[in-house]
A and B are shown apart, each in its own frame.
Chain A
Amino acid sequence: MINYKKINIWYLSSFLISIIVAIPIVTVFSSFFETTSKYSSILQNTFLYEYILNSIILLLGVLFLTFVFGVGCAYVVSFYKFPGVNFFKWALILSFAVPAYIYAYSLTAFFENFGTAFSILKNFLGEGDYNSFIPKFDGMLGAIISISFSLFGYVYVLTRASFHYQSQNLIELGKNLGFSKKKSFFKIILPSARPAIVAGLSLVSMETLSDFGSVSFFGVSTLTTGIYNAWISFDDLVLANRLSFYLLIFILGLFTLENFSRKKAQYHTPSKGGFKSKSPVSLYGYKSFLAFMFCFIVFFISFLFPVLQMLYWTIIFPKHFVDLNIIQLSLNTILLVILSCSILISFAFISNYGNRVSKSKILELLTTFSVSGYAIPGIILAVAFITFISWFDNNVINYFNFNTIKSVFIGSILGLVIVYFVRFYSLACNGIKSGYLKINYSIDESSYLLGYSKFKTFSKIHLPYLRNSILLIGILISIEIIKELPITLIMRPFNFETFATTAYIFASQDLLEAAAAPSLFLILIASIFILVTSKYILKD
Chain B
Amino acid sequence: MSENFLEIDNVTFVASDKNKVSNVSLNIENEGDVICLLGPSGIGKTTILRTIAGLEKIQSGKIILKNKILSSKNFHIEPEKRNISLSFQDNCLFPHYNVIQNIEFGASRNQKNKKDLTIAEVVKFLHLDHIVNKFPHEISSGEAQRASLARSLLSKPDLLLLDEPLSNVDQSFKEEIQVKLKKILNELKITTIIVTHDSYEAFYLGSKCGIILNGQLRQYDDPYNVYHFPNSVEVVNFLNRGILIPAKVTGENSLENNDLGTIKGNFIKHYPKGSNVQLLLQPEDLEHDDKSNLKLEVVDRKFRGTNFIYTLKTLSNLLIPVFVHSHHIHQHEVDEKFGIKRPINIDHIVCF
| Other-chain contact of A453, B54, B55, B80, B96 (Cβ < 8 Å) | B80
Binary interface encoding of chain B residues 249-276 relative to chain A, with 1 for a CB under 8 A from any of its CBs, else 0: 0000000000000000000000000000
In the assembled complex, 25 residue pairs joining A and B whose CB atoms fall closer than 8 Å, in A order, are A438-B95, A439-B95, A440-B90, A440-B92, A442-B88, A442-B92, A443-B94, A445-B50, A445-B55, A445-B86, A446-B86, A446-B93, A446-B94, A448-B78, A449-B53, A449-B84, A449-B155, A450-B109, A450-B151, A451-B81, A451-B83, A451-B109, A454-B80, A465-B95, A465-B96
| Other-chain contact of A449, B79, B94, B95, B110 (Cβ < 8 Å) | B79
Interface SS, A side: helix
Number of A-B contacts (CB under 8 A): 60
A356 to chain B, nearest CB (A): 14
Which residues 453-477 of A sit at the B interface, judged by CB distance below 8 A?
A: 453-454, 461, 464-465
A269 to chain B, nearest CB (A): 15
Q: Which residues on the A side are within 8 Å of B311 (C-beta)?
A: none
Q: Which residues on the A side are within 8 Å of B53 (C-beta)?
A: 445, 449
For residue A465, which residue of chain B has the nearest CB?
A: B96
Interface centre among B53, B54, B80, B151 (most CB of A within 10 A): B80
Which residues 63-114 of B sit at the A interface, judged by CB distance below 8 A?
A: 78-81, 83-86, 88, 90, 92-96, 105-106, 109-110
Q: In the complex the two chains form, is A448's CB within 8 Å of B80's CB?
A: yes
Interface centre among B50, B95, B96 (most CB of A within 10 A): B96
A185 at the interface (CB under 8 A from B): no
Interface centre among A439, A442, A452 (most CB of B within 10 A): A442
Q: In the complex, A450 Cα to B148 Cα: how many Å?
A: 11
A197 to chain B, nearest CB (A): 27
Q: In the complex the two chains form, is A443's CB within 8 Å of B105's CB?
A: no
Q: In the complex, A442 Cα to B81 Cα: how many Å?
A: 17
Additional A-B contacts beyond A448-B54, A451-B83 (7; CB < 8 A): A439-B95, A445-B50, A446-B148, A448-B80, A449-B79, A450-B80, A450-B106
Interface centre among B54, B95, B110, B151 (most CB of A within 10 A): B95
B217 to chain A, nearest CB (A): 24
B59 to chain A, nearest CB (A): 12
For residue B81, which residue of chain A has the nearest CB?
A: A451
Q: In the complex the two chains form, is A449's CB within 8 Å of B85's CB?
A: yes
B195 to chain A, nearest CB (A): 15
Q: In the complex, A445 Cα to B81 Cα: how many Å?
A: 12
Q: In the complex the two chains form, is B105's CB within 8 Å of A450's CB?
A: yes
Q: Which residues on the B side are within 8 Å of A443 (C-beta)?
A: 92, 94-95
Q: In the complex, A439 Cα to B93 Cα: how many Å?
A: 10
For residue B78, which residue of chain A has the nearest CB?
A: A448
A468 to chain B, nearest CB (A): 9
Q: Which residues on the A side are within 8 Å of B86 (C-beta)?
A: 445-446, 449
B203 to chain A, nearest CB (A): 27
Q: Which residues on the B side are within 8 Å of A448 (C-beta)?
A: 54-55, 78-80
The size class of the interface chain A forms with chain B is: 10 to 19
For residue B141, which residue of chain A has the nearest CB?
A: A272
B334 to chain A, nearest CB (A): 38
Q: Which residues on the A side are within 8 Å of B85 (C-beta)?
A: 449-450
Binary interface encoding of chain A residues 429-450 relative to chain B, with 1 for a CB under 8 A from any of its CBs, else 0: 0000000001110110111111
Q: In the complex, A148 Cα to B92 Cα: how many Å?
A: 44
Q: Which residues on the B side are within 8 Å of A451 (C-beta)?
A: 80-81, 83, 109-110, 155
Which residues 248-305 of A sit at the B interface, judged by CB distance below 8 A?
A: none
B139 to chain A, nearest CB (A): 13
Q: In the complex the two chains form, is A446's CB within 8 Å of B88's CB?
A: yes
Q: In the complex the two chains form, is A452's CB within 8 Å of B88's CB?
A: no
Q: Which residues on the B side are within 8 Å of A445 (C-beta)?
A: 50, 53, 55, 79, 86, 88, 92
A439 to chain B, nearest CB (A): 7
Q: Which residues on the B side are within 8 Å of A439 (C-beta)?
A: 95
A57 to chain B, nearest CB (A): 47
Q: In the complex the two chains form, is B80's CB within 8 Å of A449's CB?
A: yes
For residue B83, which residue of chain A has the nearest CB?
A: A451
Q: In the complex the two chains form, is B155's CB within 8 Å of A450's CB?
A: yes
Q: In the complex, A465 Cα to B92 Cα: how many Å?
A: 14
Q: In the complex, A151 Cα to B90 Cα: how many Å?
A: 41
Q: In the complex, A83 Cα to B328 Cα: how many Å?
A: 71
Q: In the complex, A398 Cα to B50 Cα: how many Å?
A: 54
A532 to chain B, nearest CB (A): 21
Q: In the complex, A446 Cα to B155 Cα: how many Å?
A: 11
B226 to chain A, nearest CB (A): 29
For residue A466, which residue of chain B has the nearest CB?
A: B96
Q: In the complex, A361 Cα to B127 Cα: how many Å?
A: 43
Q: Which residues on the A side are within 8 Å of B83 (C-beta)?
A: 451
Given contacts A450-B155, A465-B95, contact A442 B78 (CB under 8 A): no
For residue B88, which residue of chain A has the nearest CB?
A: A442
For residue B84, which residue of chain A has the nearest CB?
A: A449
For residue A439, which residue of chain B has the nearest CB?
A: B95
B111 to chain A, nearest CB (A): 11
Identify the 9 closest CB pairs spanning chains A and B, nearest first: A448-B79, A465-B96, A448-B80, A446-B92, A442-B92, A451-B109, A449-B86, A451-B80, A442-B88
Q: Which residues on the A side are within 8 Å of B105 (C-beta)?
A: 450
Q: Which residues on the B side are within 8 Å of A450 (C-beta)?
A: 80, 85, 105-106, 109, 151, 155
Q: In the complex the two chains form, is A452's CB within 8 Å of B80's CB?
A: yes
Q: In the complex the two chains form, is A461's CB within 8 Å of B88's CB?
A: no
Binary interface encoding of chain A residues 215-239 relative to chain B, with 1 for a CB under 8 A from any of its CBs, else 0: 0000000000000000000000000
Interface centre among A447, A450, A451, A453 (most CB of B within 10 A): A450
Q: Which residues on the B side are within 8 Å of A464 (C-beta)?
A: 96
Which residues 136-150 of B sit at the A interface, judged by CB distance below 8 A?
A: 148
B140 to chain A, nearest CB (A): 10
Q: Which residues on the B side are within 8 Å of A442 (C-beta)?
A: 88, 90, 92
Q: In the complex, A447 Cα to B151 Cα: how many Å?
A: 11
Q: In the complex, A443 Cα to B92 Cα: how many Å?
A: 5
Q: In the complex, A440 Cα to B83 Cα: how many Å?
A: 22
B76 to chain A, nearest CB (A): 9
Q: In the complex, A438 Cα to B83 Cα: how many Å?
A: 27
Q: Which residues on the B side are within 8 Å of A452 (C-beta)?
A: 80
A441 to chain B, nearest CB (A): 10
